[in-house]
Amino acid sequence: MGTFFYMLLAFLVGVLVGWFIWGRLRGELDSLRGDLDRTRSERDRLRADSDRLTGELNACGKTRSDLERQLRDAQASAGAGAAKAASQPSAALMSTPATAKSAPAAAKAAAAKAAPAKPAAAKPAAAKAPAKPAASKSAAAGSATKSAAAPKASAAKKAASPAAKAASGKPDNLRRLIGIGPVNEKLLKAQGVTSFAQIAAWTAADIKRIEDVMNFDGRIARERWIEQAKLLAAGNEKEFAKQFPTAGTASNS
């Protein structure tokens, strides 16, 4: 009887231990299955992000090529305009000496015609004759002033080209800047920011306002948005690519 009791007790203990071990193993198995499912979902998400970033990279490359072409066309047209503006004052300067020379000759001819008819009036006419060369000199000085002002006006026009672009309302591709992705671009456009020139002109108050809206904390300064925007607004693509080589790649945003 005692032996049977001990055997029954050992059987019950074995069943309890087996049940406990099976419960632990089953819990570990369920945990591993959950980890596997999460890993698969993460893999699918990463693949989707990779495809999206590849598409954005291709779009950025196309936009960059378009901007470079537009920049070359703008530089060519600006050079042609400057050359035309420089040629017009030079023509005016060339024509001024001829006018200055013809004025004294006309004065002398008028004095010679008036001399036989009115001898007494010859002296006043001769006295008034030198006044015309003086007028011709002032005309030459005025034309020289205009020619000197023409290059300055051309330089001012080139300097004002980024501001004019910002005022024209034509939006830039803000996603060329490091730190600006599709979501940040939408938030910036909602705040009325559509060009590099606007970002380049931000003040400390503007940065605080934008960071409050976009829930940033010093990110604009860390990622140097304003420095990037200044280079792009000025059309300095070479220096931009040198200082920010990761711009336009998968690590952009």
For the chain, the helix, strand and coil percentages under 3-state DSSP, each to the nearest 5: 80, 0, 20
**CB 177 within 8 Å of CB 225:** yes
pLDDT > 90 fraction of the chain, expressed in percent and rounded: 39
Of residues 124 and 95, more confidently modeled: 95
pLDDT for residue 199: 94
pLDDT for residue 140: 43
pLDDT for residue 79: 80
pLDDT for residue 87: 63
**CB 93 within 8 Å of CB 147:** yes
Give residue 52's identity as a one-letter amino acid code: R
pLDDT for residue 245: 87
Determine the length of the chain: 253
Of residues 158 and 169, more confidently modeled: 169
| pLDDT greater than 70 at residue 193 | yes
pLDDT for residue 251: 52
CA 231 to chain centre: 6
Whether pTM exceeds 0.85: no
Q: What tokens appear for 171 in the block? A: 């939006």
Of residues 176 and 119, more confidently modeled: 176
Helix axes 2-117, 131-159, angle to 10 degrees: 170
In this prediction, residues 26-39 reach a mean pLDDT of 91
pLDDT for residue 83: 73
